Amino acid sequence: MKILLTGCAGFIGSHTLDRLLADGHHVIGVDNFDPFYDRALKAANIEQHLDSDRFDLIEGDLADPTTFNKINFQLGGSAPDAIIHLAAKAGVRPSIEDPVGYQRANVIATQNLLEFAKDEGIKQFVFASSSSVYGVNPNVPWSEKHDVSGPISPYASTKVSCELLGHVYSHLYGIRVLGLRFFTVYGPRQRPDLAINKFVRLIEAGEPIPVFGDGSTRRDYTFIEDIVTGILGSLHYQGSNYEVINLGNDQTVTLSEMIATIEEVVGKKAIIDRLPQQPGDVPQTWADVTKANKLFGYKPTITFKQGVEKFVQWRSEQLSF
């Protein structure tokens, strides 16, 4: 297949790129190398593929319509078979500081890409949504049947908006749109601002870790390999024309348990810097993955401790170079 993959140099995108190329697909990758974190980290994620004759990289901003001129030029009149749209501004807390930027990068970019899919006759459109859409929902585990009309951060609201846009384009133009609600993805290449990456670095260095709240908040941590397996499962799904689908690990870990696991794997105790709970954060996330299993056999395989061990091993290998 020929696949247009957005956000190809990011954490989830680059792992998806690895698997797509390993499976023999041709990938046209788009990334704007947003300066949210060091460009060099993203460049390193895809460096091994730059010489591949089945990978073409386009640097561009999907919220800017001129980027699609670059994409069309690269395609040479041959439309991709599918789109995997992973490009987005991520993060709850930064979205509160820059809500307009998040609206542009997430909603406008997705609108432009859906228009492109419509114009080019592309019938398979997979995109990254988020567990954040569930807001503060005490009814766990969270099912796709639950109401998502109460997001509590600009980031979450953009993901709800993208799901609604996807439904419109599926209904009007017969595009199969699959919105994947990711639950706290972690693993090698994880963004440096995210908790597991940050905590491992700080604990290894003997520096305090910032802990918001009393440690009782819970997250459904999902290892990157399981997430990519779910993405590829949705890529080949040929059933109904519109679905939102949870991709999680179907279990929760408290913040205190997460820190204790990192301490055990790293072999050092954490120094805790206790801080107030942050606005926009939800007390818990927990995925019901029954639907993903039913639609394309999704079943997470990596336990939280195994995932942390894999991350720490990867980090050790990076530091050895």
Question: Which whole number is the average pLDDT over 81-107?
Answer: 96
Mean pLDDT for all residues in the chain: 96
| Cβ neighbours, 10 Å, residue 139 | 10
Whose tokens are 């290894």? That residue is 204
- Residue 321's pLDDT band (cuts 50, 70, 90): low
Give the separation between CA 21 and CA 18, rounded to whole angstroms.
Answer: 6
Average pLDDT over residues 25-36: 96
pLDDT of residue 279: 80
pLDDT tens by residue, 149-167: 999 999 999 999 999 999 9
The C-alpha atoms of residue 86 and residue 107 are separated, in whole angstroms, by: 12
Q: Which residue has the tokens 């698997």?
A: 19
Fold of domain 2-183+223-248+286-301: Rossmann fold (3.40.50)
3-class secondary-structure state, position 211: strand
Question: What's the pTM?
Answer: 0.96
Give the confidence band of 36 by pLDDT, cuts at 50, 70, 90: confident
- Report DSSP state, residue 105: I
**Where are the domains positioned within the chain?**
2-183+223-248+286-301
Residue among 212, 85, 218, 89 at smallest CA distance from 157: 89
Residue 267's region, left for phi above 0, alpha for psi from -120 to 50, else beta, is: left
Phi and psi angles of residue 253, each rounded to the nearest 5 degrees, phi first = -135, 130
Give CA–CA dist 62/64, Å, rounded.
5
Instruction: Find the mean pLDDT for residues 62-71.
Output: 97
What is the structure's pLDDT at 318? 87
Look up residue 209 and give its two tokens: 């870790």
Q: Confidence class of residue 84 from pLDDT cuts 50, 70 and 90? A: very high
Closest listed residue to residue 219, CA positions, set 270, 264, 183: 183
pLDDT, average across residues 45-51:
97
Using 50, 70 and 90 to split pLDDT, how confident is the model at 198? very high
Report the alpha-carbon angle 298-255-207, nearest 5. Answer: 120
Is residue 234 predicted with pLDDT exceeding 70? yes
**Of these residues, 155, 169, 221, 298, which one is catalytic?**
155
- Indicate if 155 belongs to the active site: yes
The span from the CA of 198 to the CA of 186, in Å, is 12
The average pLDDT across 271-299 equals 93
For residues 57-71, average pLDDT: 97
Q: What is the rounded end-to-end Cα distance, in angstroms, of the chain?
A: 35
According to the model, what pLDDT value does residue 77 have? Answer: 87
